[in-house]
Every structure is written in C-alpha cells, then in structure tokens.
Amino acid sequence: MFQWLYDVLWLLAPIWIRRYLDKRSGSAPAYLAHRDERFGKPYLNPVTGAVWIHAVSVGETRAAQPLIRELRQRFPDAPLLMTQMTPTGRETAQVLFPDAQCRYLPYDKKTWVRQFLREHRPMFGILMETEIWPNLMKECRRAGVPLFLANARLSEKSLNGYLKVRRLIRPAAASLTGCLAQTEADAARLAKLGAASVQVCGNTKYDLMPSEQMKTLSGQFKKRIGGRPVAVCGSTRVYRGEDEAEKLLAAWQQYRGDALLVVVPRHPEHFQTAFETAKRFGFKVQRRSDGLPVEPDTQVWIGDSMGELYAYYLCADVAFVGGSLVDSGCQNIIEPLSCGVPTIFGFSTYNFSEACRHALASGAAVQVESADAWREAVEKTLSAEGGGMQMQARVDGFIAQHRGAGARIAEAVWEAVCGHRG
C-alpha cells in the first residue's frame, strides 16, 4: 500500500518540484542549469562501470574525499561517477574531482531510476550520510548493483519520522548491501530502521585536512588582514526567518577589541544581506571579493566566496560554526577543529551531536546559548589568560584520535563487493 502511494506521488510530484526549482532559481540561478537531468532525461555519453558516489551537497561531497582516495587505491581502473542534488554540490565535485563525471541524480521516480542504472551500470554505489530513496535502493538490488550507505548518521528525530512510514522505508533499508555508520548511536538507530549489515566505521570528516591550495589562499588572506586577531563565523545560516549572521553582528556591537570579525554565510544568496546588515549596524565593512587589503579600522570582513571555508578557518584565532544559533542542527564543527582552531558552537547541534559532545568533553570546543555568550567566549579565548594555546593543543589531540574512517569504509566496501562478485 505504501509503495503504491509512493509511486503515485511520483506521478504528481514533478509538477511541484519544477515550481520549487523555478522559485529557488530566483535567488540561485544555477538551479536552472542541467535541470532535465533531475527528471529522467537521457544523459549524453554516460560513464559505465564506475565507482558511483552520491553526495547531496557541499558538505557531503567534501566528506567523500578521504573515502574516494581510499577507494581509488582498491579500484584503480574504475572511473568515478559523482551525483549531487544541489548546484553548489555539483560545482564542488567538479573542482575536487576533475576527472569524474558529475551529474544530478534523478528524483526517485521508478522509471527515472531504472534509466539511470541502465545508462551507467555502476560497479557499486555509495550514498553519503543519510540519503534514503526507496525506489533507488530497491532498483539497485534488482539490477544487481551493490549499494551502501556510508558515513551514515540518523538522529532520533529523523528515525521517528521514518518509522511513521516504516512499511515503505524498511524494505528499502533492508535492500542495502551495507550500512557504515558514524557512531554506535547512529548504528543502533539505523538497525532499528531495518538497515542491513550495519557496522560502525566513524566519520570521514575527521580525515579531511586543508589542501595546499587552501593553505596558500589562507596565506594571502593573512597578508590582506595583517597581524590582527581574527574571529571567523563560518557557514552562518538563515533558517525559518532567523538570520544567524544578524544575531552575531548585533552582539559584536559590544566588542571593544581590535579583532577582525569574518562572516562567511553558508549560501551565496546571503552574501549581500550580510554585507548590508553589517553596514546597518554601523560597522566599517569590506568584502573578500573586493581584492583589497583589509584596512586597519575595518571591523567586519564578509567572506563572499564559495569553497574557501578552510582558508578562512586557517586564518582564525577562534571560530564559530554556523547553523547552531538558529535551530538548523549545526554545520560541520570538524572543519575548524581540523585546522587546529579553538571552536565555539551554539545550542542546536543535532546534525553533529556526537562530534560536539566529544569535542566538549576533550576541551577542544565551547558551547554557548546566545550570540552575546558567543562574543564573551571569543573575548575570553583571545585574551592572554583565556588559555587559547592550551585549547589548541587539545584540538589537535581530539582530531588525531578520530581519524581513519575513510580507510575503514573503503575496506568494508571492498570486502562486500568482492564477495558479491564471487
């Protein structure tokens, strides 16, 4: 019954999805490009027999890097197919994996999924983090394509939502060849959902390190900034009408030191808003895109660029991770920590709850409940008696302790695929 209703939904949903994409394109025109790939249009010159990685957006695509590096050692002759759901994810994949074929994954209508699998005939597929598409999962099993959920995480809230449609989700989850979870808690929830062959492999985001390109760019940023202390607010979000950057800038009005505040919005459509908000609060503000040195009396620098977050964090003496002072679950706290930067995050952490908990326990991070408390934590960290150097040492130890997930996941995939073939 649920499967029948789900398939009927996909007869109607494309109308509404096209309207949604049209609306999104008003602020992000890239949503119009390659749109037909999402709706089952045959792909020109599809790569076949590939290692196929599906990573929804920027974060998942970056998290796939350590895993892809390990998979290429084990499957050196296989081409790479990358699929995404967002323009920024696609752009990131094209930059990080220039030899890969990058395209949008079609939506989960059965005929579109079957066509995708017929076109590409992948060696196997890996869905990064929490991507549950019932028709895709079942059709991969039917077509004999091993499919894995990797770097998998599932919150209690998401589990409860999926369990409401368990008759649809359970058969799909059970059709997976393997489910490679980030934590024991994730593994228990995924097993409760019905996922097959669940094992804990850790989080590949701990394996990520700033590239040489990011280190070089960070050096250029430092030269533009000068010798001032730097507080970076990375991946700030606008969520359900709440503008996180506005909250932070409002609190920064009470700051009296000489540190430069760097605000890097998560989405490019909010670059201009952050700039205008800083001006409205009376700050002297510049943009990264102006290409000019940061003046000594500039108080706020807007990071209006994509794909450069590591370079901003490498400049920082202290970092704040966005999506945590609005209730969107926190962006990736591991990124600033992997740069050796003392890190602050807010009350909303459900996307990275385990990482946040461990970071707090190790003394590598600080949690705050408000923007004013964030400003006070920044001031304390930057002060001589704030213990910033000791905190940085704890950050380095914390990251080293959690590395190795990419190799563990790749080995689990290798064993399952070779066994599947045999």
- Residue identified by tokens 């430069």 is 260
Considering the candidates 37, 60, 70, 246, report the single residue annotated as catalytic. Answer: 60
- Residue identified by tokens 């074929």 is 101
- Tokens linked to 308: 């450069």
60 is catalytic: yes
Number of H helices, E strands in the chain: 17, 16
Q: What is the dihedral of CA 124, 129, 134, 139, to 10 degrees?
A: 0
Query: Side by side, which strands form the sheet with 101-104?
Result: 101-104, 80-84, 51-54, 124-128, 147-152, 178-181, 198-200
In this structure, the chain runs to a length of 422
Question: What are 181's strand-pairing partners?
Answer: 152, 200
290 with 202: CB under 8 angstroms? no
DSSP run (H or E) holding 303: none
Residues 6 or more apart whose CB falls under 8 angstroms from that of 161 comprise none
Q: CA end-to-end span of the chain, whole Å?
A: 36
Which residues are known to be catalytic?
Answer: 60
